[in-house]
Structure 1
């Protein structure tokens, strides 16, 4: 078989095959959910073996660029940022149980994102969303502090942000942040009360439409997380 040029630019045979499949997706204007060319089409278009095509598709699937859906076959994926989660989780724990630097770095990036975004939500959330956040704050105070309740708070908080990448990033960093609960001491009654107070302060600032207060409250929330992380480091 001979190599077939795709698009307006001829590419050499030894180009990385996943890149060439990606170029084909772009050239055809395929959107998330659109059917991918069949395996036979890819073999003919790219001039490579069946195994090579399957390996390329497998690589793109790992990145979320290609998806396999029951009843629909192989389609263009949505390339969700959630594919970053395993790598970020590995970075958080790569130093071993005695090195929390990776986890601290993840928390710092998450703080930069959330503090930067929360001020934009002041005065923008409807009462139903604010009531849901109030209920999650109450749940934090009524039971043993559950990281999933905290996660749901942040998920609800950013569900109304126009940029879908923000919600995906927050979710990705939460998946990685779960490792924190294996190294941080379990919060006592004082820490639990402080967590509830800090989350309530975020909701109050948003309800009041006070962007600066919302950012300050979120910063204080992360300061408490970093304090607990510092205590864990000092105890090692």
Structure 2
């Protein structure tokens, strides 16, 4: 026999229905706690428990002193969970990091092809600027994680899909939080810059085969480092 959902769980669903039913968007104000208590007919504790749960997944944004608002989508919870489980698997010789790298590599392989399909409609000026900055850093002896992340972010921006940036950012955040376990890159800064340049050049040339090969080459160093982690375990 299925158990009845708790009042807090029912309240969570009711708040979601309020957001959807009223056509509210990210940043729009929500009813106050008291208004929700009256409208939903439940206790303050149940309302607060529901709001905290919705805040944890980014559906509700509670700003103390200002009120409650519809949250803006965030993958922070996903990042924390993936990072934690990746650390667990590192302890017994299995690595979720390898799976994450594989997924991101497949994602970017598809993205470069879609980017090429845009042709002249794709404004790659921001990617060109990021590429130039990366090469300047490489000449000075190091490529910063920030410019590496920026390049991938702005490269796919012409696709007009905000989820792409968020997903790539989530993968990056997990990888960055595990950087101490993964270790330093094997490639020289010049090699790192060159691999990114190869991706950019293939995209601007409209060469899908070269773009796919460049993406695979870009991730080769990461795959090798992660593979060594598994062999050590």
TM range (shorter): 0.7 to 0.9
Gaps of 5+ in 2: none
* RMSD between aligned residues: 2.5
Out of 202, 209, 212, the residue aligned to residue 212 of structure 1 is 209
Q: 1:71 to 1:54 in 2, by over 3 A?
A: closer
Per mean C-alpha deviation after superposition, the further-off stretch among 70-79 and 59-68 is: 70-79
Normalized against structure 2, the TM-score is what?
0.84
- C-alpha change, 1:100 and 1:44, in structure 2 (3 Å) is same
What is the CA distance between 1:42 and its match in structure 2? 0.6
State how far apart, in whole Å, the 2-side matches of 1:106 and 1:222 are.
11
SS at match of 2:160: coil
TM-score scaled by structure 1? Answer: 0.83
- Superposed structure 1 runs of 4+ greater than 4 Å apart: 12-15
Task: Pick the structure with more helix per residue.
Answer: 2
> Following superposition of structure 1 onto structure 2, how do residues 198-209 of structure 1 map, counting pairs within 5 Å?
198-209=195-206
Query: Among 49, 71, 80, which residue is 2:74 paired with?
Result: 80
Equivalent residue number for residue 169 of structure 2: 171
Partner of 2:104: 110
Change (3 A) 1:88 1:67: same
1:65 to 59, 63, 82: 59
- 72 and 210 in structure 1: CA distance in 2 versus 1, 3 angstrom threshold: farther
Partner of residue 158 from structure 2, selected from 157, 160, 163: 160
Segments of 5+ residues of structure 1 without an aligned counterpart are 1-11
Aligned to 1:7: none
Please give the secondary structure, in 2, of the residue aligned with 1:68. Answer: strand
Aligned residues: 225
The aligned residue for residue 132 of structure 2 is 134
| 8 Å contact kept, 2:93–2:229 | no
Moved more, 18-27 or 114-123: 114-123
